[in-house]
Structure 1
Amino acid sequence: MSTTGFAQTAEQPTPSAVVFAYHTVGVRSIKTLLARGIDIRLVVSHEDSANETIWFESVAALCEEHDIPRITPENPNTPEIIAQIAALKPDFIFSFYYRNMLSAEVLEIASHGAYNLHGSLLPKYRGRVPVNWAVLHGETETGATLHEMTVKPDAGAIIAQTSVPILPDDTAFEVFGKLSVAAEQTLWNALPSLIAGTATKIPNDLSQGSYFGGRKPEDGRIDWSQSAQQVYNLHRAVAPPYPGAFTEHDGKTFIIEKARIFKHTTLKLPANLPLGISVVDNVTFGVCGDGKAIEILALQHQGCTMDNQALAKFFGRT
């Protein structure tokens, strides 16, 4: 891949790109490329799934607004798709929250490099759903990283990073909002040097990082024998609009909608409560294995937030 910069003259066209994009980060990043004068010749994206809660911005709507051609192949690495991209002769390939891996044949098409925005401070939290994993593990900081793409996921040289704090009560949804801004800032600041061919490349030392796979709704099952902080971190990591941390009682499933660590200055945790959910005097406790508890502020059953009467019916203690 060439690293020669572009001379912005009448004879030299503006830089072009094929963009693989989905989700809010995809939308914000495409807007950033357009604002920096990149000629986006094609967007490769996904069709929305009927089995997924769509709470994020639409790449499809953005492409329609700006008359950008868009395709949604199930496999972006077929000979037909590779030929279609190669015919466009893009200077850059960018990937912004696109969910499929790209083959070496795709990455090599871009004459000035292929780059990905990842939602962590690489080399930490390589792989899938990095925001959720960072919150689950109680991290106090994460960020967005722009890096060169290689066949191995999230392993290429780092171009730029922007960090954001994870506050003690932040949910993954709230952290994702911060990362959307951080991703936009990272790309905006890095594009001039990428276009000029002067971008600094920092080695991505994988021995100093970690790799995580995807998560399933079943991974939100609460183990009440864990500490209150661990249970709270699970809630924060998968709180709605993600599928949610859940528990079962009398054959029924309940999802924690909103909670906090129980640190009341005047109200004490009642003694001898069993592990799991109990309601005492209209306060809903989730008692954990370390003898501490989370206070559940909103609990869902069958898609609806339970009122005090329903909570007392299922979990009331005298």
Structure 2
Amino acid sequence: MTDLDPAKRAVVFAYHNVGVRCLKVLLAGGVDVALVVTHEDSADENIWFESVISLCRAEGIPYITPADARAPELLRQVSDARPDLMFSFYYRHMLPADLLAVAPAYNMHGSLLPEFRGRAPVNWAVLHGASVTGASLHEMTVKPDAGAIVSQMEVPILPDDTAFEVFGKVTVAAEQALWRVLPSLLAGTAPRLHNDLSKGGYFGGRKPEDGRIDWSRPAQQVYNLHRAVAPPYPGAFTEVGGVRYVIQRARLPGQGNLVALSLPQGLAVLDGAIVGVCGDGRMLTIAALSADGAPVTAAQLQAHLEGARA
């Protein structure tokens, strides 16, 4: 890709691992990144991902961290950069119409559009038990994730994959999807595939409280919830006797895993191991459980369960 026109200028809105990897693709492709718009890390968030700011500092790329994507000052700064193209790689704010009008803009979304449009697409895909997902580069419009698709890359979701593991695959897929289409994108010959909005659907952001377990649900649904929010996300949790227990690691054994004993739904200790009994009589085997950030042993859980029932 060394023969790409180095005069092509871009403004890049980027954050997270996808932001870092896709920004590196643009640099490797000879794109002149005139400005990066990113976020300051929040002290209230578990920052387990790579830093776009660190990459900008290492590469000498100007960057800004505006609090409001609709601020007139941001529009002026982006316009002054005179971009030929704009890219959004996991930037967390919606870009308004006047900003999108500055130059053709492309967004990298973490699903196979039109599936799982909106927020937290990897987490939602795992929660819904999808067996495949990927990354989609698409034209940006005011309506989110609605523009024509220019490149996609597919990855599998294995039965025991957590959202964190799937996100790693999607990050590589995003890098590959951008690398593959970048020459034609800069040449103005990139494909434009229909993004059929009659399929799939929009999903909102997720909060830690959304990880609350309903043990009356079938075991596969409970397991999917665990996989979707397992660390480094906040985790699936349940409360017993005023204590919030968070599942750190769990597995769902095969279909023959039925509860022969009259165990109540929820956390239990069986043969010295922690399990989670679900509404269809199947159990999750829980390898690691915590409360208030500290590991909980089977003996500690058993003592608490007996005390809560007393």
Within-5 A mapping of 1:1-318: 14-110=7-103, 113-263=104-254, 269-315=259-305
Q: Which AA in structure 1 matches 2:37?
A: V
So what's the TM-score if we normalise by structure 1?
0.93
Q: Which moved more, 1:215-224 or 1:304-313?
A: 304-313
Q: How many residues align?
A: 305
Rounded to whole Å, the distance in 2 between the matches of 1:305 and 1:17 is 47
For residues 151 and 133 of structure 1, the distance between their equivalents in structure 2, rounded to whole angstroms, comes to: 22
For the Cα contact (< 8 Å) 1:282–1:312, is it kept in 2? no
Q: Percent identity?
A: 61
The whole-number CA distance in structure 2 between the counterparts of 1:216 and 1:251 is 21
Aligned-partner Cα distance in 1 for 2:4–2:195? 31
C-alpha distance after superposition, 1:84-142 (max 9, x if no partner):
110111011000000000011111111xx100000000001000000000000000000
Deviation at 1:264, TM superposition (A): 9.1
Conserved 8 A contact 1:278-1:316: no
Tell me by how many angstroms 1:79 deviates.
Answer: 1.4
Looking at structure 2, the residues matched to 59 and 8 of structure 1 have their Cα atoms a distance apart, in angstroms, of: 24
Which runs of no fewer than 5 residues in structure 2 stay unpaired? none
**Residue ranges of structure 1 left out of the alignment (5+ in a row):** 1-6
Deviation by residue 1:232-269 (Cα, 9 ceiling, x = unmatched): 0000000000000000000110000000113398x874
Q: TM-score normalized by structure 2?
A: 0.95
**Deviation, structure 1 residue 270:** 4.5
User: Structure 2 CA distance, aligned partners of 1:15 and 1:316?
Assistant: 68
SS at match of 1:169: coil
Alpha-carbon distance change, 312 to 194 in structure 1, aligned in 2, over 3 angstroms: same
Q: Which amino acid in 1 is paired with 2:244?
A: T
Letter matched to residue 19 of structure 2: G
- Whether the aligned pair in 2 keeps the contact of 1:173 and 1:239 (CA below 8 Å) is yes
Decide whether the 8 Å contact of 1:46 with 1:73 is kept in 2: yes
CA distance in 1, matches of 2:70, 2:157: 36
Q: Is the 8 A contact 1:277 1:287 kept in 2?
A: yes
RMSD across aligned positions (CA):
1.7
